[in-house]
Amino acid sequence: MKIFEYKNISKTLIFATIAIIVANSTLISMLYYTSQIKELESTIEQLRINKINEKKETIKKDIMFQIVMLRFKYEKDLPLYKKEIKNYFRQIPFDKEKSDYIFIYELLNKHGGDKFAKLVLNPNRKDLEGKLISSYYQDKNGFKFREKFLQGINNYGESFVTYTYSKTNNTIAQKISYFYYIKELNWVIAKGIYIDDIQKELNTKKRELKKQILNIVSENIFFFLLFTSFWIFIAYMMGKKVSNTLKEKDVKVNATTNELTKLNMELDERVKKEIIKNNEKEQLLMQKSKFIALGEMISLIAHQWRQPISEIGAIVMNIKMHKKMKKLDNEILNKKTKDIENLLEYMSQTIDDFRFFFKPNKKKQAFFIEESIARVLKIVHPMLSENKINIETNIDTTIKITNYQNELEQVLLNLISNAKDALVIDRIKKPLLIITLEQKDKIYLSVKDNANGVKQEIEDKIFDPYFTTKEEADGTGIGLYMSKTIIEKNLQGQLVLESSKEGTCFTIKL
């Protein structure tokens, strides 16, 4: 009878250990999978919002950029202007399913009505071109979206509208359209996309991430089962040893039990450490994925293009003013055209710079920093002149380095643009910008303004991503963050801030 009890103790030890490990592995795997799925849903929803906003920004910039260029080239001849707009947008390629679209209305009544407009262009539905349309038309949900966009262009000259519509395959889908009013032609040009196409892309990404999570959970379960099998063997051997020992000496029962309990605790601790290690590894991978997503080139390019596009608009307005005043001669026109070409060249170069931003195969080159300063000042000169900002320079023209020239110029342009914004926002009576270049123990390149400075309570946040002191529509908070990243990661330098009531100074140390 005593031997039978010893055998029961051995079996109880084995099966209890198996049950504990299996239960722990199952529970932890379920909790991990559930938490990852919740985080995935939240991430996908944020990606959807970001993707829609990026698409809206891209649609708007596509329309605005082409209209500005065509207006500048053909506005003297309105019939030719109309023809070139139609020709250009008719030739734009669409995807195979025609899920993106573009169309042009000629407004007959800006306040709406049964025949408020005529369809001038619709590459997806050429059969509707020339037809009169009504503002009372409703989508599948009863929404009068044409009245909504009329309200927007009457108030602001542009409008974003979300509504439902039939795609070319007769499916009903929600779409976003950007409407822009070309006042001189009395035309409304619209471009947009169907939201379900974005959702399809996100669903594909979601399935891929779910599969990755499931693979990780499966791997964890596999290792737990492997661990369990190992422990079964260990427990069996130990149980057998315990049974034999108990048969011979009852006095050793307590000592053996304590040893097994201690070993069991150590094994549980090892299991917990492995679980924590796996969770940390997964979190690092997710963070890396999010960081890459935040580094999407489109948003960075859009941020860097905001200033050049504004300057192009200002140059165009300046040309118009000279024309109205009958002072537009070839010299002025050539100068303004050259300024626009320089800005467009910079915009094109920005795309190339960011395309290879994270690639390690970029080559350093030797260059004089004074040349980079001169190139940037040439680009921003119209912007500074327009705001009556004086420039003082104290530059050592002999300083030459071997580094990434384009990226240094990009950071310098961003610092000057931020300084300009601060001077304009603070309404400084005699705005001044001071650029200094000198070499001591290191190379110091400084951009200083005489605005009101950065508040002390936000100095620690000034380089944080998405932190901005500007209005939401005027800043994204990416510029200084990217500038610091470029200087420290790519140029192996430092970007520091010194601020007081007399102004703000950003210094690049190389």
Separation of alpha carbons 315 and 305, rounded Å? 15
Residue spans of the domains in the chain: they are: 20-233, 355-509
| Digit-coded pLDDT (tens) for 35-81 | 777 777 777 778 778 888 888 888 888 888 888 888 888 878 888 98
pLDDT at 510 over 90: yes
> What order of strands is seen across the sheet that includes strand 432-439?
390-395, 432-439, 443-449, 503-509, 494-500
Pick among 3.40.50.720, 3.30.565.10, 3.90.1170.50, 3.90.1150.10: CATH of 355-509 = 3.30.565.10
Closest CA to 28 of 216, 163, 194, 166: 216
| Digit-coded pLDDT (tens) for 371-420 | 999 988 887 887 888 889 999 999 999 999 999 888 898 889 989 988 99
Q: According to CATH, what is the number of the domain 20-233?
A: 3.30.450.20
DSSP assignments along 437-489, one per residue: EEESSSEEEEEEE-S----GGGGGGTTSTT--SS-TTT--S-HHHHHHHIIII
pLDDT at 100 over 50: yes
Mean pLDDT of 10-21: 66
Q: pLDDT at position 309, please?
A: 86
CA dihedral 200, 201, 202, 208 (to 10 degrees): 110
* Between 266 and 439, the higher pLDDT residue: 439
Assess contact for 407 and 495: CB atoms under 8 A: no
| Digit-coded pLDDT (tens) for 170-207 | 778 888 899 999 998 999 999 888 887 777 777 777 67
Closest CA to 479 of 503, 510, 457, 447: 447
Mean pLDDT of the chain: 79
Q: pLDDT at position 171, please?
A: 76
Structure tokens of 252? 């050793």
Assess contact for 168 and 154: CB atoms under 8 A: no
User: Which pairing describes strands 132-133 and 117-121: parallel, antiparallel, or unpaired?
Assistant: antiparallel
The CA angle 431-494-438, to the nearest 5 degrees, is 60
